[in-house]
Structure 1
Amino acid sequence: MIEILSTTALATVQDVGRFGSLGYGVGTSGAMDHLALALGNLLLGNPEDAAALEIPMFAFEVRFTQDCAFAVTGAACEATLDGQPLPPYWVAQAREGQVLSLGYPTSGSRAYLCLAGGVDVPSVLGSRSTQLRGEFGGLHGRALQQGDRIAALRPGVSTLPTDFGVVSPSQALPLQRDGLPAMRVLPAAEYDCFLEDSRAAFWAGEWKVTTQSNRYGYRLEGAPILPKAPMEIRSHGIVPGVIQVPHGGQPIIQMRDAQPSGGYPKFGTVIEADLWRLGQAPIGSKVRFIECSYAEAIAALEDNQCYLAEVSRLVDLHGLASR
Structure 2
Amino acid sequence: MAIEMIKTGMLATIQDRGRFGYQKYGVNVNGAMDEGSARVANLLVGNPEDAAVLELTLSGAALRFTEDHLIAICGANMSPMMDQASLPMWQPIIVKKGSILTFASYVSGCRVYVAMAGGIRVPLVLGSSSTNMRGQLGGFNGRSLHSGDILEVGHVDEASRSARLWKKLQQSIGPTFNAKLFAMAPEEQVTIRFIPGPEYELLTADSKQKWLNGTWRIDAQSDRMGYRLHGEMLELEGSKEMISEGTVHGLIQLPANGQPIVLLSDRQTTGGYPRIAFVAAVDIPMFGQLKPGDAIRFVPVTIDEAEHLLLEYEQDMAMLKAAMMLKCSGA
Same fold (TM over 0.5): yes
1:232 aligned partner = 241
**Counterpart AA for 2:219:** T
Q: Point out the more displaced range, 281-290 or 138-147.
A: 281-290
TM normalised by structure 2 equals 0.91
Tell me if structure 2 keeps the 8 A contact 1:68–1:155: no
Shift of 1:90: 2.3
1:275 aligned partner = 284
Shift of 1:83: 1.5
Distance 2:177 2:81 in 1: 15
State the SS of the aligned residue for 1:165. Answer: coil
State the SS of the aligned residue for 1:97. Answer: coil
Residue 246 (str. 1) matches residue 258 (str. 2): no
Shift of 1:25: 0.6
Distance 1:8 1:175 in 2: 22
How does 1:47-58 map onto structure 2 within 5 Å? 47-58=48-59
**Percentage of pairs with the same residue:** 36
Shift of 1:189: 0.8
Distance 2:179 2:137 in 1: 34
Q: Point out the more displaced range, 231-240 or 183-192.
A: 231-240
**Counterpart AA for 1:70:** I
2:132 aligned partner = 131
How does 1:34-45 map onto structure 2 within 5 Å? 34-45=35-46
**Counterpart AA for 2:71:** F
Distance 1:244 1:68 in 2: 43
Show structure 1 runs of 4+ deviating over 6 A. 173-176
Q: Point out the more displaced range, 79-88 or 117-126.
A: 79-88
Tell me if structure 2 keeps the 8 A contact 1:68–1:158: no
1:168 aligned partner = 180
How does 1:90-109 map onto structure 2 within 5 Å? 90-109=91-110
Q: Which runs of 5+ in 2 are unaligned?
A: none
How does 1:170-319 map onto structure 2 within 5 Å? 180-319=189-328
Q: Map Cα deviations across residues 97-133 of structure 1 (whole Å, 9 max, x no partner).
A: 0001112221111000111111100000010000011
Q: Map Cα deviations across residues 179-213 of structure 1 (whole Å, 9 max, x no partner).
A: 52111111111111110121122111111001111
Residue 140 (str. 1) matches residue 141 (str. 2): yes
Shift of 1:300: 1.2
TM normalised by structure 1 equals 0.93
Distance 2:68 2:198 in 1: 52
Distance 2:79 2:286 in 1: 20
Q: Map Cα deviations across residues 19-42 of structure 1 (whole Å, 9 max, x no partner).
A: 000110112100111110110111
Q: Point out the more displaced range, 160-169 or 291-300.
A: 160-169
State the SS of the aligned residue for 1:312. Answer: helix
Residues 43, 10 of structure 1: CA spacing in aligned structure 2 closer, same or farther, 3 A cutoff? same
1:88 aligned partner = 89
